[in-house]
Amino acid sequence: MINPAAPAATATAPERRRLGGAKARRLAETLSIRSGAVLTALLIFGVFVAIAGANPLEVFYEMYRGSFGSSFSFQNTLLRAAPLMLTALCTALPAKLGLIIIGGEGAAVVGGLAAAVTGLGLRGTSPWLVLTGMLLAGFAVGGLWIGLAGWLRVYRGVNETISSLLLTYIAIALLNHLVEGPLRDATSLNKPSTAHIGIDNMLHNIPGLDVHWGLVYGVVACVVAYVVMDVSVFGFGSSMVGGNVRAAQLSGLPVRAMTVIACLLGGGAAGVAGMVEVAAVHGKANASLVTGYGYTGILVAFLARNNPLAIIPVATLLGGIGASSGLLQRVFNLPDATVSVFQGILFIVILAGETLYGRFAIFQECAAPPATKPAVGNSSTPSQAVT
């Protein structure tokens, strides 16, 4: 029997072919089910659009035109995709260990707030020092915010889904209190905000593009997350924890520490998303940090099946859908929540599609020939598997 965990270098040629075939079938199954989920969501969304009085085909065309139809729209899509890549990692990384974290919005908010405070504290020094300090502050505070949810899960038995969601509301309340009170800039009248970090201290655009360097942050973070969670020893141990916690404990893995570390890394990525919003878009911390990117990042992670590399194209797709929202309002006079309705439909369809994995024979390995019956009179019985 082939050991799936055996290194490819030590496997025989038939074993390598079999392992490669299994990976190809899993990839084909994932792509087929996810593509079917998107198409199904589009069909259901088309029904809602028709009820609202618009032509679904024209709506779909305008969605494409507003997201990928021109250089301007595509760059606008990339601007929205950058924070989605980072907030999606907040859900995807802990999911490798079997956790469901939905607090990326809160981590982005506190990360952005910490980055703004750090930028103000370092204002007057080198812009590189300011941006580096903001990056580290956003990562550290966002990581600690979600790391708290992981700590509560492993040391106090608190459900991480509920705690991370409740921490989001605390983060938003904390932001409102500070920007409307102790950190408020006296010149911000209609919209309470902190003071501006300074134009020289902001993230600028990538040369030749109208897209800021936050996109590079997102892509690099996804690549690094793939290496950490899918290639390294820590990633292999995380997969063991996510597959069977008891087996991981018996193998001597520090399950509690690994769980908290994964939450720290995921929360840190979301905190960097908040830092990017401050350093590249707003230049200050205010209520605009509550963008909803953290919630959309959950959908991105689910659609990518928590694969850090798959998050990059999925975030670009959903970023494009979000970028087309304004165009749908202007052309068809649809409500501003139209895109949110589509995202909700897509989320429900994806959850329903999870029940389809392993049900299609075309994606399964051919069954092994049945074992021969024991000789008559042989009282020996096959050993039972240990559960």
Instruction: Retrieve residue 124's tokens.
Output: 């007057």
Give, in order, the Cα–Cα distances in Å from 202 to each of 85, 127, 199, 245.
Answer: 20, 8, 5, 44
pLDDT at 10 (0 to 100): 56
pLDDT at 202 (0 to 100): 94
Average pLDDT over residues 74-81: 93
pLDDT at 364 (0 to 100): 76
Average pLDDT over residues 4-22: 61
How far from chain centre, in Å, is Cα 73? 23
387 or 94: which leads in pLDDT: 94
Residue 174 has pLDDT above 60, yes or no: yes
Average pLDDT over residues 65-84: 92
pLDDT at 40 (0 to 100): 94
pLDDT at 5 (0 to 100): 46
pLDDT at 365 (0 to 100): 67
Spatial distance between the Cα atoms of 112 and 277, rounded to a whole number of angstroms: 7
pLDDT at 26 (0 to 100): 82
Q: What is the pTM of this model?
A: 0.86
291 strand-pairing partners = none
pLDDT at 310 (0 to 100): 94
Residues 67/79, Cβ–Cβ less than 8 Å: no
pLDDT tens-place string over residues 141-171: 999 999 999 999 999 999 999 999 999 999 9
Min mean pLDDT across 18-22, 68-72, 78-82, 313-317 is at 18-22
Residue 98 has pLDDT above 60, yes or no: yes
Min mean pLDDT across 126-135, 220-229, 358-367 is at 358-367
**Which pLDDT band, with edges at 50, 70 and 90, does 47 fall under?**
very high
Within a 10 A sphere around the Cβ of 169, how many other Cβ atoms? 12
Residues 107/277, Cβ–Cβ less than 8 Å: no
Residue 136 has pLDDT above 70, yes or no: yes
Would you call 285 exposed, middle or buried from its count of C-beta atoms within 10 A (0-12, 13-18, 19+)?
A: buried
193 strand-pairing partners = 286
For the structural domain made of 82-333, what CATH number should be given?
1.10.3470
SS percent in the chain: helix, strand, coil, step 5: 70, 0, 30
Residues 283/130, Cβ–Cβ less than 8 Å: no
The ranges assigned to domains in the chain are: 82-333
Would you call 92 exposed, middle or buried from its count of C-beta atoms within 10 A (0-12, 13-18, 19+)?
A: buried
Average pLDDT over residues 224-252: 92
Residues 150/262, Cβ–Cβ less than 8 Å: yes
Residue 355 has pLDDT above 90, yes or no: no
Question: Mean pLDDT in the chain?
Answer: 88
Residue 182 CB partners (closer than 8 Å, separation 6+): none
Query: Can you say whether the dihedral through the CA atoms of 232, 235, 239, 241 is positive or negative?
Result: positive
Find, among 84, 141, 5, the residue nearest to 308 by Cα: 84
At residue 124, the 3 state secondary structure works out as coil
**Which pLDDT band, with edges at 50, 70 and 90, does 383 fall under?**
very low
pLDDT above 90: percentage of residues in the chain: 68
Residue 258 has pLDDT above 70, yes or no: yes
Residue 1 has pLDDT above 80, yes or no: no
At residue 205, the 3 state secondary structure works out as strand
**Which pLDDT band, with edges at 50, 70 and 90, does 357 fall under?**
confident
pLDDT tens-place string over residues 320-332: 999 888 888 888 8
367 or 95: which leads in pLDDT: 95
For the CA atoms of 318, 323, 327, 328, the dihedral, rounded to the nearest 10 degrees, stands at: 30
pLDDT tens-place string over residues 286-343: 999 998 999 999 999 999 989 999 999 999 999 999 988 888 888 888 888 888 899 8
Average pLDDT over residues 62-80: 92
pLDDT above 70: percentage of residues in the chain: 89
**Which pLDDT band, with edges at 50, 70 and 90, does 201 fall under?**
very high
Residues 321/342, Cβ–Cβ less than 8 Å: yes
**Which pLDDT band, with edges at 50, 70 and 90, does 104 fall under?**
very high
